[in-house]
Every structure is written in structure tokens, then in C-alpha cells.
Amino acid sequence: MNRFSLNHATTKYWDQDEAIDACARENVGIGLWREPVAAKGLENTARRVRDSGVTVTSLCRGGFLTTGAPQALDDNRRAIDEAAALGAGELVVVCGGLPEGSRDIDAARRAVADALGALAPYAVESGVRLAVEPLHPMFASDRCVISTLDQALDVAESFTPEAVGVVVDTYHVWWDPNVYAAIARAAGRIASFQVADWITPLPAGVLTGRGQLGDGCVEFRRLRDAVDAAGYSGHIEVEIFNDTIWSHPGPDVFAETLRRYREHVA
């Protein structure tokens, strides 16, 4: 179980300090989010992390780079600083959807590549890798114009593996007929491996309709084996956005998630 990491979004309403301490007690990692970190204070959180001895497996999230706005670059530099302060080696980057009113998806993709080029040197100096996450194609218009792992790799491969890696999230990539070839291609670039299940029918609020491990149709062990075979030996983050799961107490969700992980992924 020492590769397990709880992405804090899985227990969104659980006090961050309690979640950090619980993960430390179980000797598992934690993935943190910028907003709760800011609410607790960056220095306070960094101290809590150091004192507890927990590993911060990623900071979520930077990105939203498709508009070309200088403010977006500034915000991403701050996110890199925050990741560095927390000792998180990976900043998850969700690239952004089409700018308001635009239909030009190629232009949006070029803007992402340009912005990564502007950010990469600063990330390397800071000891933080930009972890580009392809999101399911149903988010292409509003959240991420990078929809497949191959496409994320096409972007990442313009940079050194220390500067730009990719996230493999089962929820986003399970359907892709090329996913196993893409995972093999991603050797040396896998910055984060995240797991959530795909449940059918798709819940009404698609953003928060991810399934607890085992409740859906994702082939976790097959995907995990492929990621392992590509040389990834880091943490496996469970990241589930789900309104029902969020309505339960954090400690209960944590215990259930550990149990499900043991059964379906470990």
C-alpha cells in the first residue's frame, strides 16, 4: 500500500490538516489542491507536511493557458512556487478549454505549447515538473483542449522530461483505443498516475460523476501494469470527484478508498 496516495479532492470537505495527519499515520501520500492550501496558509501547510512526514505527491493545479493572458503565466509561476514550498515535485496542469467565443481549437492548442515554453525554465529552476494532464474529450471545450495521452506527449516531448511530464488518469483515458501504446510511449514522462472509475450511465453533473474504484468499467490492473511496465514506480493517486462520496465523512471515505484500492488496484 506504500504507493497509495489520497488526492485531497476525493475527500473535498475533509479538513486538510486532518487529511494530512491521516495519510501520515497510514504511511501513504497525499495530493493537495491550491485553494485549501491557500485557506490554511502556504507556510502553515508546508510546516504541517514536514512535521507529519507525509509525501505530497502532486499539487493541483496549474494550467488554463489557452487565452495567452500574461496573468495566467503569473498564476502558474505562483503555483510552481507553492509546489516547491510544499516539496511537491509535480504540478498538475489542466491546459484550459476554448477561450470565450472561440471556435479555433488549434489556436488554443498552440497557446498551450507557447505557455509551457514560457513556464518550463522556471519550473526546472524550482525543481517542479509541469505534469500535463489530458482530460476526457467531453471537457475539450471548457477545460482542456488536450484530450489524449498521445496529444499530451506530442506537447511534452518538446521539453526535457525533467521540465514537462504527463498525467495518466484512468478516468480520462480508459476509452482510448491507443492508450496502451501511448502509455508505453510515455516511459520517462509519467509524472503522475491517477485512478478513478467510469460509471454508467454518466451522472448528470459530469464533472462530479467519477466512480469509486470498482464501481465502473475501468480495467485498473491492466492500466496499472502498463504504467508499471513503462517504468513508473511513483505513487498512485486516487482522485474521485463525486457528490455522493463528498457527502460522507472524510475518515470513512479514506478507509473505503484504501479498501477499494487494495481490491482493485494494488
Question: Per-residue contact track with a second copy, 105 to 144, x per CB under 8 A?
Answer: x---x--------------------------xxx-xxx--
- Candidates 43, 70, 204, 233; binder of a second copy (CB under 8 A) is 204
Distance between CA atoms of residues 2 and 27, nearest Å: 7
Nearest approach in angstroms of CB 4 to a second copy is 21
Contact 185, 219 (CB under 8 A): no
Closest approach, Cβ 209 to a second copy, in A, equals 10
Which is nearest to 95 in space by CA: 107, 85, 109, 106? 109
- Report the C-alpha gap between 148 and 157 in whole angstroms: 14
Number of residues that bind a second copy (CB under 8 A): 33
End-to-end CA distance of the chain: 7
Q: From CA 105, how far away is CA 182, in angstroms rounded? A: 22
Task: State the minimum distance, in angstroms, from the CB of residue 8 to a second copy.
Answer: 25
Task: Based on the shown chain and the rule CB under 8 A, indicate whether residue 206 belongs to the binding site for a second copy.
Answer: yes
Torsion of CA 49, 50, 55, 57, to 10 degrees: 60
Sites for a second copy among residues 157-186 (CB under 8 A)? 174-177
Q: Which residues bind a second copy (CB under 8 A)?
A: 97-98, 102-105, 109, 136-138, 140-142, 147-148, 150-151, 154, 174-177, 198, 200-202, 204-206, 216-219
